[in-house]
């Protein structure tokens, strides 16, 4: 959730490098930020509540030169987001500084014993115990040793960077449960919680594993375990570029990412469809035909939007493959005692590949000997590395906290999975070919929907002051209703509920009056006639109806207050189209309400705490 970045190397402007890195990481957390630079054997440091911009305004006037430093952008877990609790945290003598992403679970016990020894704490954070522990073990010239001793005492998760004024040519990083990526540049090293902060300097990276650390000096580095055993490192090449993590003329990352969807959906399918045989190929799954036939049940795990994608996977895979699919919140799965009989496969869906609940659920399933596959966006992320096999969605970096393009790419990949497995069982070649033709038409169809952006903005304008919304859908468009409501909640702080349209009668219908906008997702699919009945029920109670339906549908025009048309596709693929107007509506309403679209309050892009 928090972002950390550190630098050591040839540059003399470490402050600028760290601030730039923090801005790239700000989507990971944005309630406070801080920086520490080691220069001439001294520690220069400052921190501020609020966004990076505020820190920059304050420290921008100071001397930020130097060649070694660390910085942090925070998403508060322990202690309110004020200046004192912002990172870095320091040793008592103010010579050691640490930034931390994660949670030290036994910090209360450690804090008590440190206080008993006379240690004075400045903050309410769990992190500060680490700073004091490192100080206790430090003799002034072996920072990595002191970090190792301190980490031995710690339970919990950490991605940390540590510097000491006494060793002005050394930075120590360690990881357990929170991502740390070590960028290998040309006479410089940059270390961060994700690659976005490194890209300007290098594309050569080493992903630290849990319980690993790296010690870097200006021209050399060593990777080892926190138990001090040397470990071989492998350098990976990142294929993202700087342009992808910039707004490219859009006002917000979210809008840019919504408009990228024709391309990202195309990328999710590229090279994976075989027209001649009507099949899909997902090489990363690494499964033989026999292995595919042995799969008896699929359990899909995810959180947030990825969980919604999972729900859609259930509709798609049960229909096309005819095997039972269960979808579960990763946070629930990990703490129950799920039945995982032979023939079950786990499918973990995660944009970031770092969501701690999804990762822990995956590990739990793996430890029970279940084959685990991942559908992940961030290449080299922990879930991608720890899955037995998997598929990348190739959506490129997603910076907006509210997920958009990752969602449509996830469901594109799930539809390929349904086709691939389905062709081994129930789907004929001609049906497979029909599905491929429909899949290939999607990017242009999404472009067509995006062209209606202005009219979607006009509809949003009419309703942006409303404080409650209801989203209804049936069949595969029910998860779309959930996702539409989630988008609105996340970025505009408007209360919105997604519901299966027919289930509305069992509660939400009581909320409907002339002030309730009801977004109804009702393309011309198998559920269409049924949902017309639900539309009438809303209409009878004077609810304001915003309908998303298939072009050419004259029937809906008579009933709805507003209609947004989408092109025709196969029933199971409608969600990839119907969600687009909902993303745009949420975006426009948030902008009109003056909300911070890319960094909504209290949220973080990558949730690395439970």
Residue numbers at the binding site for ligand G6P (CB under 6 A): 303-306, 350-352, 355, 358, 401-403, 603, 605-607
Which residues make beta-bridge pairs with 206?
A: 182
Indicate the residue whose CB is closest to ligand G6P.
304
Tell me the C-alpha to C-alpha distance, in Å, between residue 594 and each of 26, 465, 493, 600: 19, 11, 11, 11
Report, in Å, the least distance between residue 397 CB and ligand G6P: 12
Nearer to ligand G6P, 32 or 606 (CB): 606
296 conformational bin, left if phi > 0, alpha if psi -120 to 50, beta if neither: alpha
Query: Whose CA is closest to 521, among 357, 242, 312?
Result: 312
Report, in Å, the least distance between residue 374 CB and ligand G6P: 10
**What Rg, from alpha-carbon coordinates, does the chain have?**
25
Return d(Cα 88, Cα 4) in angstroms, integer.
10
Report, in Å, the least distance between residue 347 CB and ligand G6P: 13
At 180 the three-state DSSP class reads coil
Nearer to ligand G6P, 148 or 352 (CB): 352
Return d(Cα 545, Cα 335) in angstroms, integer.
40
Whether 200 sits among the annotated catalytic residues: the reply is no
Query: Whose CA is closest to 268, among 251, 288, 282, 248?
Result: 282
Report, in Å, the least distance between residue 422 CB and ligand G6P: 25
The three-state DSSP-derived secondary structure of 473-491 is ECCCHHHHHHHHHHHHHHH
Tell me the C-alpha to C-alpha distance, in Å, between residue 210 and each of 160, 178, 213, 378, 568: 12, 8, 9, 18, 47
Report, in Å, the least distance between residue 302 CB and ligand G6P: 6
Nearer to ligand G6P, 33 or 301 (CB): 301
Nearer to ligand G6P, 284 or 353 (CB): 353
Return d(Cα 317, Cα 391) in angstroms, integer.
16
Angle at 144 between CA 139 and CA 146, to 5 degrees: 45
Query: Whose CA is closest to 75, among 111, 107, 53, 51?
Result: 51
Q: Which of 47, 95, 320, 605 is labelled catalytic? A: 605
Nearer to ligand G6P, 351 or 409 (CB): 351
Report, in Å, the least distance between residue 305 CB and ligand G6P: 3
Nearer to ligand G6P, 556 or 603 (CB): 603
Return d(Cα 107, Cα 113) in angstroms, integer.
10
Report, in Å, the least distance between residue 197 CB and ligand G6P: 17
Return d(Cα 396, Cα 283) in angstroms, integer.
19
The Cα diameter of the chain in Å comes to 79
Supply the angle between the helices 14-25 and 52-59 in degrees, to the nearest 10. Answer: 160
Whether 605 sits among the annotated catalytic residues: the reply is yes
Nearer to ligand G6P, 47 or 175 (CB): 175
At 320 the three-state DSSP class reads helix
Long-range contacts of 313-319 (CB under 8 A, 24+ apart): 313/347, 313/349, 313/411, 313/414, 313/417, 313/418, 315/475, 315/476, 315/479, 315/572, 316/411, 316/414, 316/415, 316/417, 316/418, 316/476, 316/572, 317/414, 317/417, 317/418, 317/421, 319/418, 319/572
Report, in Å, the least distance between residue 400 CB and ligand G6P: 8
Nearer to ligand G6P, 202 or 355 (CB): 355
Q: Which of 2, 119, 303, 372 is labelled catalytic? A: 2
Residues forming the active site: 2, 605
């Amino acid at each position: 959730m928090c972002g950390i970045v550190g630098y050591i190397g040839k540059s003399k402007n470490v402050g600028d490098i760290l601030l730039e890195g923090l801005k790239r990481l700000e989507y990971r957390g944005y309630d406070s930020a801080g920086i520490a630079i080691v220069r001439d054997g001294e520690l220069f440091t400052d921190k501020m509540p609020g966004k990076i911009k505020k820190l920059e305004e304050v420290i921008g006037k100071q001397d930020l030169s130097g060649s070694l430093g660390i910085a942090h952008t925070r998403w508060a877990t322990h202690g309110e987001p004020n200046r004192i609790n912002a990172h870095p945290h320091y040793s008592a003598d103010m010579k050691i500084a640490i930034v931390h992403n994660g949670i030290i679970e036994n910090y209360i016990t450690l804090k008590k014993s440190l206080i008993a020894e006379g240690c004075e704490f400045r903050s309410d954070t769990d992190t500060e115990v680490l700073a004091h522990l490192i100080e206790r073990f430090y003799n002034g010239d072996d920072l990595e040793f002191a970090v190792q001793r301190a980490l031995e005492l710690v339970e919990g998760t950490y991605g940390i960077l540590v510097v000491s004024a006494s060793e002005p040519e050394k930075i120590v990083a360690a990881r357990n449960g929170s991502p740390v990526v070590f960028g290998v540049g040309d006479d410089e090293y940059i270390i961060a919680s994700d690659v976005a902060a490194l890209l300007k300097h290098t594309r050569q990276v080493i992903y630290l594993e849990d319980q690993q650390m790296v010690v870097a000096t200006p021209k050399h580095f060593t990777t080892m375990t926190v138990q001090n055993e040397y470990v071989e490192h492998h350098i990976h090449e990142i294929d993202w570029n700087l342009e992808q993590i910039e707004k490219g003329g859009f006002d917000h990352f979210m809008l840019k990412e919504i408009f990228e969807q024709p391309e990202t959906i195309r990328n999710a399918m590229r090279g994976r469809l075989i027209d001649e045989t009507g099949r899909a190929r997902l090489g990363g799954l690494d499964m033989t035909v026999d292995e595919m036939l042995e799969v008896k049940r699929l359990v899909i795990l995810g959180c947030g939007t990825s969980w919604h994608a999972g729900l859609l996977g259930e509709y798609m895979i049960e229909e096309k493959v005819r095997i039972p699919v269960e979808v579960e919140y990763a946070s629930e799965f990990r703490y129950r005692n799920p039945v995982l009989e032979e023939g079950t496969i786990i499918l973990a869906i995660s944009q970031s590949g770092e969501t701690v609940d999804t990762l822990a659920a995956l590990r739990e399933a793996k430890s029970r000997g279940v084959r685990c596959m991942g559908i992940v966006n961030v290449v080299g992320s922990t879930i991608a590395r720890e899955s037995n096999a998997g598929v990348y969605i190739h959506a490129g970096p997603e910076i907006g906290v509210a997920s958009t393009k990752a969602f449509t790419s996830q469901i594109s990949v799930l539809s390929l999975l349904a086709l691939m497995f389905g062709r081994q069982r129930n789907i004929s070649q001609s049906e497979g070919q029909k599905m491929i033709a429909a899949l290939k038409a999607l990017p242009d169809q999404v472009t067509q929907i995006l062209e209606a952006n202005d009219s979607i903005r006009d509809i949003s304008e009419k309703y942006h002051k409303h404080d409650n919304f209801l989203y209804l859908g049936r069949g595969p468009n029910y998860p779309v209703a959930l996702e539409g409501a989630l988008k609105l909640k996340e970025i505009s702080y408007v209360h919105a509920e997604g519901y299966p349209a027919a289930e509305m009668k069992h509660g939400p219908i009581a909320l409907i009056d002339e002030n309730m906008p009801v977004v109804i997702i009702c393309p011309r699919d198998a559920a269409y006639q049924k949902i017309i009945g639900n539309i009438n029920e809303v209409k009878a109670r004077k609810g304001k109806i915003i309908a998303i339906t298939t072009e050419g549908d004259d029937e809906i025009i008579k009933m709805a207050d507003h209609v947004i048309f989408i092109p025709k596709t196969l029933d199971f693929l409608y969600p990839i189209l119907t969600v687009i107007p909902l993303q745009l509506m949420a975006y426009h309403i948030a902008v009109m309400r003056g909300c911070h679209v890319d960094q909504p309050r209290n949220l973080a892009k990558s949730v690395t705490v439970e």
